Structure 1
Amino acid sequence: MLRLWWRFSWPFLYFRDCTQGSSLERVQSYRHNRAMRRYLPGFIVKWMVFTTLWFAFGTLFDEVAGLVIPAACCFVTGTWTGIVVVLLSVAWTWLERFPEL
């Protein structure tokens, strides 16, 4: 079940590295990534939900329970998940905008 959740939430398993290999392998990897770009909006929404939940938990810990350290941990984790949202958005925009290397 954990493996299924990991594949559901982690988008980087579906994409290939375009900086390794010969020029033909790099082009094939880029074409593969362009074909897989249609799944990125779903991953962006999932990670936005994760970000919202972490910030909601942080607010809950801080304002309701008065626990500062757990709230700070939730806010830091929410910031990291927000960075993943930005990274996925940039990757989706890049793959939509530039058809070839």
Structure 2
Amino acid sequence: MDRKEAFWHILYRYLWPFPYFRDVTQGSLLERQQNYRYNRRIGIHHLPGFMLKWACLTLFFFVLGNVCEELLEVVLPAACCFVTGTWTLTIAVQLTVAWLWLRRFPELGR
């Protein structure tokens, strides 16, 4: 029997990068340092792709909100698009900060 993965799970894995990282607050100092090195190695290369995805989503929702407001003259859907665009912008900023942090601090502090 061939089991297919649910669409929502695929979308979650495509957009949400945080499960791919390891917890650096648990374990001994050596384990925390190893986890930080792993996060740094993964994050520096893969976070820009996730940042681009969320930036595109942000742009999409703000453009859609603008279209709803200007061309269709409907306020509620436009407001929903702008709120969703703000949420996606928040995630894009979090990803950017995480990427900059991993690039700036090569080792975990003691």
Tell whether the structures are fold-level matches, with TM greater than 0.5.
Answer: yes
Q: Does 1:6 align with 2:12?
A: yes
Deviations 1:59-101 (A, max 9, x none): 1111111111111111011011111111111111110111101
Segments of structure 1 that go 5 or more residues without pairing to the other structure are none
- Alignment match of 1:25 (pick from 18, 31, 48): 31
Tell me the TM-score normalized by structure 1: 0.91
* Map of 1:15 onto structure 2: 21
**RMSD (Å), alpha carbons:** 1.2
Please identify which structure carries the higher helix content. Answer: 1
Segments of structure 2 that go 5 or more residues without pairing to the other structure are 1-6
Identity of aligned residues (%): 54
Deviations 1:2-48 (A, max 9, x none): 32222111111211221223322221221110111110111111100
Secondary structure, aligned partner of 1:21: coil
Matches of 2:78 and 2:40 in 1, distance apart?
38
* Map of 2:4 onto structure 1: none
Task: Report the number of matched residues.
Answer: 101
Q: Which runs of 4+ in 1 moved over 6 A?
A: none
Tell me the TM-score normalized by structure 2: 0.84
* Map of 1:35 onto structure 2: 41
Q: Indicate the larger mover: 84-93 or 19-28.
A: 19-28
